[in-house]
A and B are shown apart, each in its own frame.
Chain A
């Protein structure tokens, strides 16, 4: 048990070591560890956020998909309706057109018939004269009897 100057020397060495640790050893280690802890905590929080965002996005996409499907079916129904409408319209138009064409044709036919009748009338008188000429062979004054013949033609 000999206490001597060694005690003071050792105490000084101890003080220097403590100072060194307080100043140079502890702070960088503490900083590294605390930064890492913070980074890990942030990373976990970010992961949780990402998971939540993913869930929200999935929900949103589902809603959008449903809406799109609904809209598509609406459009299809509308198109079908419009299609049948167009067909009906076309049918109507066709009918009207057909009737019109039919009416035109009928009118034309009537016209033709009339024209033919006119032609026939004109020819009948000639034929009748020719026939009468053949029958009578004699001089029959065409001019004198034309009145009678045209009367006859009108009666046809």
Chain B
């Protein structure tokens, strides 16, 4: 945790200004309206990191040998095997065509994006201030930007729709929207008054099924995106609070550094776990889209 720069900022800004400064995106307007804004920091970081991590894996995969593997190939194969095993347990189709490579991409990409949380917040701010002046802002953790998590979650959501329709057909998918999970009404001879009411009311099953499916389709991307965002955003805010604490007086530097180190170590778990959970949910959602009821 770099406290030196925090002290400088403290001199220039108020505590809330410090937090606001660190949580502000490097936004660039592309056109009229609030929507046409690009978070340059989020986009640049995620594209660069994505290229680096998948490029490194590609460099190894390109020269992959079926003979005795090099150490780097052994490591990549370890990751490959880990992802492949997870997907194999969940999805029972041809996973190699799309779902397993997607899971690998999601896991590695989210993992490196999350890992940016380990960069000391004030070092990032310091470097950006050096190049862009005191008012320049830079958010180093793309997954603490809700746009990133929703971009991934919605992409998975669209893939879900795509595979649902591809596997079941458009009609089959629409039929399932109304027929699953509670089933469809059955015609029967009512034996009592309640039975007669049941027969009259049974078309409501269609409504219940549809409502249930809608809730599922809405909740899936929301929980998918917000779980990752919440974890990473909270982690970043904790780092910022610790940094600010260190800036509030020389006596607080040491306890803040110790707590910061502790939170960093704990964050290794969160970073890896959230990447894993995000990958697993992606696989589960895509696998569910392949299953008919």
* A, B in one complex: yes
Q: Is B50's CB under 8 angstroms from A13's CB?
A: yes
Q: Which residue of B lies closest to A40 (CB)?
A: B66
Report A-chain residues with C-beta under 8 Å of the C-beta of B54: 17, 20-21, 25
Q: Which of A5, A17, A29 contacts B64 (CB 8 A)?
A: A29
**B residues 35-55 touching A (CB-CB < 8 Å):** 35-39, 42-43, 46-47, 50, 54
Q: Which of B30, B47, B100 contacts A13 (CB 8 A)?
A: B47
**B residues 61-94 touching A (CB-CB < 8 Å):** 61-62, 64-67, 69, 73, 76-77, 80-81
Tell me, yes or no, whether B176 is within 8 Å of chain A by CB.
Answer: no
Report B-chain residues with C-beta under 8 Å of the C-beta of A15: 155
Q: Is B64's CB under 8 angstroms from A7's CB?
A: no
Q: Is B34's CB under 8 angstroms from A24's CB?
A: no
CA distance A24 to B51 in the complex (A): 13
Report B-chain residues with C-beta under 8 Å of the C-beta of A22: 97-98, 101-102
Minimum C-beta distance from B21 to chain A (A): 17
Which interface residue of A14, A27, A36 has the most chain B CB atoms within 10 A? A14
A-binding segment of B118-126, B130-138, B144-152: B144-152
Can you give 11 contacting A-B residue pairs, CB < 8 Å?
A: A2-B37, A3-B35, A4-B39, A10-B142, A11-B155, A14-B109, A17-B50, A17-B105, A20-B54, A30-B80, A33-B80
Q: Is A13's CB under 8 angstroms from B101's CB?
A: no
Having A2-B37, A7-B147, one finds 5 other A-B pairs with CB under 8 Å, namely: A17-B109, A21-B57, A25-B61, A32-B77, A33-B66
Q: Is A25's CB under 8 angstroms from B58's CB?
A: yes
Minimum C-beta distance from B49 to chain A (A): 10
CA distance A58 to B148 in the complex (A): 69
Q: Given A4-B34, A29-B80, A31-B66, does the pair A11, B154 have CB atoms closer than 8 Å? A: yes
CB-based A-B contact count at 8 angstroms:
124
Tell me, yes or no, whether A1 is within 8 Å of chain B by CB.
Answer: yes
Q: Given A17-B50, A17-B109, A20-B54, does the pair A6, B64 have CB atoms closer than 8 Å? A: no
Q: Is A3's CB under 8 angstroms from B146's CB?
A: yes
**B residues 146-173 touching A (CB-CB < 8 Å):** 146-148, 150-152, 154-155
Q: Which of A3, A5, A30, A32 contacts B65 (CB 8 A)?
A: A32
Q: Given A6-B145, A25-B57, A29-B77, does the pair A18, B38 have CB atoms closer than 8 Å? A: no
CA distance A9 to B151 in the complex (A): 8
Interface size on A, as a range, is: 20 to 34
Q: Is B148's CB under 8 angstroms from A28's CB?
A: no
CA distance A57 to B38 in the complex (A): 77
Q: Which of B39, B58, B69 contacts A6 (CB 8 A)?
A: B39
Q: Is A25's CB under 8 angstroms from B101's CB?
A: yes
CA distance A25 to B188 in the complex (A): 57
Minimum C-beta distance from B113 to chain A (A): 10
CA distance A2 to B42 in the complex (A): 13
Q: Is A21's CB under 8 angstroms from B80's CB?
A: no
Tell me, yes or no, whether B19 is within 8 Å of chain A by CB.
Answer: no
CA distance A14 to B163 in the complex (A): 18
CA distance A131 to B57 in the complex (A): 150
Tell me, yes or no, whether A111 is within 8 Å of chain B by CB.
Answer: no
Q: Is B66's CB under 8 angstroms from A39's CB?
A: yes
Minimum C-beta distance from B289 to chain A (A): 16
Tell me, yes or no, whether B257 is within 8 Å of chain A by CB.
Answer: no
Tell me, yes or no, whether A8 is within 8 Å of chain B by CB.
Answer: yes
Q: Is B154's CB under 8 angstroms from A26's CB?
A: no
Q: Which residue of A lies closest to B33 (CB)?
A: A4
CA distance A13 to B109 in the complex (A): 11
Tell me, yes or no, whether A35 is within 8 Å of chain B by CB.
Answer: yes
CA distance A111 to B42 in the complex (A): 147
Report B-chain residues with C-beta under 8 Å of the C-beta of A20: 54, 58, 105
Tell me, yes or no, whether B104 is within 8 Å of chain A by CB.
Answer: yes
Tell me, yes or no, whether B96 is within 8 Å of chain A by CB.
Answer: yes
Report A-chain residues with C-beta under 8 Å of the C-beta of B57: 21, 25
